[in-house]
Amino acid sequence: MDPRIHDHAAVIVDHSTSIEAGDNVSITAPPAAEDLVVALYEKLGERGANPSVTMSSSRAMRAFMRASDPDDFELPAQSMAAVEAADVAIQIRASTNTHETGDVAPEKNAAYGAVMKPLGDEVMDKRWCGTQFPTDGNAQDAEMSTEAYEEFVYDAVLKDWDEQREHQERMVEILDPASEVHIVSGDTTDLRLSVDGMVTQNDYGENNLPGGEVFTAPVPDSVEGEVLFDKPVMAQGREVDGVSLRFEDGEAIEHSAEKNEAVLTSILDTDEGARRLGELGIGMNRDITEFTYNMLFDEKMGDTVHLAVGRAYEDTVGEDRERNESAMHQDMIVDMSENSRIEVDGEVVQRNGTFRFEDGFEK
C-alpha cells in the first residue's frame, strides 16, 4: 500500500480526532476508499479503539432515490442509533464518478438531504473529521492524472498543522472582534455583511482534512449586495456554473446560474434558511494551488472567499446571536486573486489574494 495512506491515517487518528483507548469510532467510506479504511483500522487497533464502517455508495443512493416515493423518505433508525452511540465520526469521501446522482430529480435529492439532516447534526456533536481519499473519479474532476492528484491530496493533507494554525491565527485576530466585512471582486461582487458578536474559528485540520481556513457566521439579516461565484459548484451530481445572488436584508431575493439553474433553485428552496448565509470562510492553505472542483479543497485555497447558503455551524454563532437554521449547507466560492479586496471594519485586510500579514501586500 502507498505509505502516504498510512501517514494520512495517522494524521486523522492522532491530530484530527485525538483517538484514545476505548473510543467507539464510526467511519463512513465508499468502497473505493477501502485502502484508507484498512490503514485506519491498523492505527485504531494500535490505540485500542473500537471501529466500524458504514459504506456510503453513491450508486446505491442513486438507485434508492430514483426508485423511492420521496414521501416515504425516513431517516433509518439504525443509522441514527449508530452515530449516537459513537464517540468519534470519520467521514471519507472518494468518488468513482462525481456525476453519479446526476440523473436524480433535484427535488428528490433535496428532500432526501432534508430527511438525513439530523444525522449530520449528530455527527457534529462528536469529535469528527471529514477527509478525502484520492480516486480516478476525483482526479478526473480535477482535470489531473490520478498520480498527480494523489500528490495534490497528500501535499494538502500531510503538512505541519501547528504552523498552519499559527498562520491562520493572525486572520482570526482580525476577524473575530470585527463588525463589518466588505467583499469586492471585479464589478460583479460587492457584498457587505456583519459578523458582529459571531465567533471566528481556526480550521487547522481537525474537522476538515485538509483544513486551512478561518470561518465565521454572518448575522443572518445583515447581508446586503451582490455576489458572483466565479468558481463552479458541484451539487447533486451536477456542475452549477456562474451562480449569482442578490441579497436584501439577508435574504437572496434574486438568483441565477449560467448552467443548471434548476439545481440552484432547488437548493435555495430547501427551506427558509437556505436563502440566507450561514458561513463566511476565508481560504488560507497555500499548499492548495489548484482548483479541483472539490469543496473540501477549493474553499481552503489562499486567494478565495467562500459563502454558504443554509445552516451556520453552531460553534461560529455567538451566544446571544441568531443561528441560521437549514437542512442545507452549500458552499460557493469567489475568486479573490485579481482586482479584489476584503475590508474589515473599513480596513483592507486582503488585496488580490494577498493578506495584510503576507509579503507583497499592497495597502
Binding site for its own copies (CB under 8 A): 21-22, 24-26, 29, 31-32, 34, 37-46, 48, 50-55, 57, 59-61, 63-69, 72, 74-86
Burial class (CB in 10 A: 0-12, 13-18, 19+), 249: exposed
Shortest distance, position 7 Cβ to its own copies, whole Å: 15
CB nearer to its own copies: pick between 20 and 258: 20
Task: Please identify, using beta-carbon distances, which residue of 23 and 299 lies nearer to its own copies.
Answer: 23
> Distance between CA 13 and CA 311 in Å, rounded?
28
Q: Grid coordinates standing for 348?
A: 483592507
The residue among 85 and 253 lying less far from its own copies, judged by its C-beta, is 85
The per-residue DSSP string of 138-201 comes to: HHHHTTS-HHHHHHHHHHHHSS-HHHHHHHHHHHHHHHTT--EEEEEETTTEEEEEE-TT---E
CB of 137 to its own copies, least distance (A): 14
Cα–Cα distances in Å, from 292 out to 147, 186, 231? 14, 23, 10
3 or 360: CB nearest its own copies: 3
Q: Which is nearer to its own copies, 104 or 288 (CB)?
A: 104
Number of neighbouring beta carbons within 10 Å of residue 82: 18
Assign 17 to helix, strand or coil.
coil
Looking at the Cβ atoms of 77 and 359, the one nearer to its own copies is: 77
Residues counted in the chain: 363
CB of 204 to its own copies, least distance (A): 27
CB 66 to its own copies: min, Å? 7
